[in-house]
Amino acid sequence: HNDYMCPATNQCTIDKNRRKSCQACRLRKCYEVGMMKGGFVDLTLHDQVHLLECAWLEILMIGLVWRSMEHPGKLLFAPNLLLDRNQGKCVEGMVEIFDMLLATSSR
């Protein structure tokens, strides 16, 4: 973003403790160490499709974890489908995945 402006001299110290103090200098430092300015929308359509094809499961799981954060010990698959671990056992091999997703949603 070019909207960020440093309130000081554009030379703020950006480290673990002070990284949130100046967005402009933090972004500048990211660019200095090699971060690309472009993003997903700058990729070719072929590359966008390929990236989504390779990451669709992770994207769906992140959405599931995000929806479930307000429901401790349960996963919210859909507005009317909230399951706890015992209910998840009905699907073969689901318990292991269920446990990992529950652990992630409770962090």
Q: Are residues 27 and 77 in the same domain?
A: no
What token pair was written down for 54? 């390779």
Q: Is it the case that residue 101 has pLDDT exceeding 70?
A: yes
Q: Are residues 23 and 45 in the same domain?
A: no
User: What's the Cα-to-Cα distance from 98 to each of 26, 67, 69, 72, rounded to whole Å?
Assistant: 37, 14, 14, 13
**2 pLDDT band (50/70/90 cuts)?**
low
Q: According to the model, what pLDDT value does residue 61 have?
A: 92
Q: According to the model, what pLDDT value does residue 60 have?
A: 92
Range of the domain at 15: 1-37
Give the global pTM: 0.54
Q: Are residues 73 and 100 in the same domain?
A: yes
